[in-house]
Amino acid sequence: MMFVLKKIAKSLFLITLIFSYSSCKVDKKVMTSEVKYNPGHYVSVSPFFELSKIKHLDDSTLQGVNKKYFWRTLEPEKDEYDFSFIKQDLDYCSKHNKQLIVFLIDKAYWKKGALPKYLKEHEWKKRGGGFNPIRWHPEFVKRFIAIGNAIADQFNDHPNFEGIAIQETSLSIPKNVLLKYNYSSEKYRDALLSILNNFGMSFTKSNVFWYQNGIQGSNEIIKQIADSISFRKNIIMGGSDILPHRKWLGKTYKIYENYKDKLKLFCSAQDDSYYHHKNDIRLSEEEPIHEEGYLTMEDIFLFARDELHIKYLFWNYYYDGVENGIHSFDDAVNVIRKYPTFNNP
């Protein structure tokens, strides 16, 4: 009798395991099948920029806007969120049939930092300007996840909310300061994994755009993170500016080739991309412009499409310096119109 009961109990246990596994598979499939996916060309703008001032935004070849928001403006006090700026921009995008990507800024190059006041102890001020977050500190990770969850609660279901972007992984913090804050590349890796995995679960119907751009101490860490999150269909990996002739970016660009079949990819044509030439190796401001002049915006695009295998391309809204023959967003729009879709069957 006891033998029979044990067999029945074992069978029930196995059935429960199979059912649980099947349920997880079904849930995961449902989650990933409902994720919004609107790849293509987006225009990137800085904090507080009014979307109504973006030229060409109503062009049908532009999918939407990737806009930066300072963390401090979204959470003026601990656990008190103000998402009015996001709501306003999302309403505008909805009326114009565009998608919005919320780029959450925690690292600032401006005179004022990006973090809320209550997190100032986890923000290092660089002499001469600029603020770097101590992203590997447990309290920082906890609070970053909290604001991500709050944004997901508010906007995950909105059809015009394409997702959230988190800032590039590079820190720009000297070694002696890293030592002061007990930095290690492993701690940073674990912090980023906690954030990415949590966001991947919170934004069930939207995307998480992860700007990877090297890890101080070990670039191998980027691959470890990419491997760990590759099963999440709503995490999209990207990184450095599109600068084909900047030599030190060569290793970073190889990551795109390695992960083109494992993760969806993106990249951004930032300000430097609008005046990039073959001598642009970032060693000195005195480096001469190559005799062939600047790369065209079509050159920039084709490199991103064919060498980086991207699904999303974020074009900075750039108009500075055009009097010197430097390209502008108008030139980018001509390319966008010529190649409205790319790398998507």
Q: What is the CATH number of the domain that holds 177?
A: 3.20.20.80
**Arithmetic mean of pLDDT, 257-282:** 93
Q: What is the pLDDT of residue 215?
A: 82
**Arithmetic mean of pLDDT, 112-120:** 94
Q: What is the pLDDT of residue 161?
A: 98
| pLDDT of 65 over the 60 cut | yes
Q: pLDDT, tens digit, for every residue of 165-217?
A: 999 998 889 999 999 999 999 999 999 999 999 999 999 999 999 999 878 76
Q: Is residue 298 part of a domain?
A: yes
Q: How many CB atoms lie within 10 A of CB 344?
A: 9
Q: pLDDT, tens digit, for every residue of 66-107?
A: 999 999 999 999 999 999 999 999 999 999 999 999 999 999
**CA 100/CA 98 separation, integer angstroms:** 7
What percent of the residues of the chain are helix, what percent strand, and what percent coil, each to the nearest 5? 45, 15, 40
Q: Is residue 10 part of a domain?
A: no
**CA 332/CA 296 separation, integer angstroms:** 9
Tokens for 328? 């502008």
How many domains does one find in the chain?
1
Q: Is residue 37 part of a domain?
A: no
| Mean pLDDT (the chain, rounded) | 88
Show Cβ contacts of residue 271 under 8 Å, excluding neighbours closer than 6 positions: 316, 318, 320
Q: CA dihedral in degrees (110, 111, 116, 118; nearest 10)? A: 140
203 within 8 A of 145, measured Cβ to Cβ = no
Within 13 Å, how many C-alpha atoms sit on residue 296's CB side?
8
**CA 251/CA 260 separation, integer angstroms:** 15
Predicted structure pTM score: 0.88
| pLDDT of 3 over the 60 cut | no
DSSP reduced 3-state for 106: coil
**CA 204/CA 233 separation, integer angstroms:** 10
Q: Is residue 7 part of a domain?
A: no
Q: What is the pLDDT of residue 23?
A: 33
Residue whose C-alpha is closest to residue 196's, from 223, 230, 170? 230
Q: Is residue 33 part of a domain?
A: no
Q: How many CB atoms lie within 10 A of CB 65?
A: 28
**CA 100/CA 91 separation, integer angstroms:** 10
Q: Is residue 73 part of a domain?
A: yes
Q: If pLDDT is split at 50, 70 and 90, which confidence band does 12 have?
A: very low
Show Cβ contacts of residue 121 under 8 Å, excluding neighbours closer than 6 positions: none
Q: What is the pLDDT of residue 282?
A: 66
Q: How many CB atoms lie within 10 A of CB 83?
A: 19
Q: Which domain holds residue 99?
A: 64-338
| pLDDT of 124 over the 50 cut | yes
Q: Is residue 271 part of a domain?
A: yes
Q: Is residue 272 part of a domain?
A: yes
Show Cβ contacts of residue 31 under 8 Å, excluding neighbours closer than 6 positions: 204
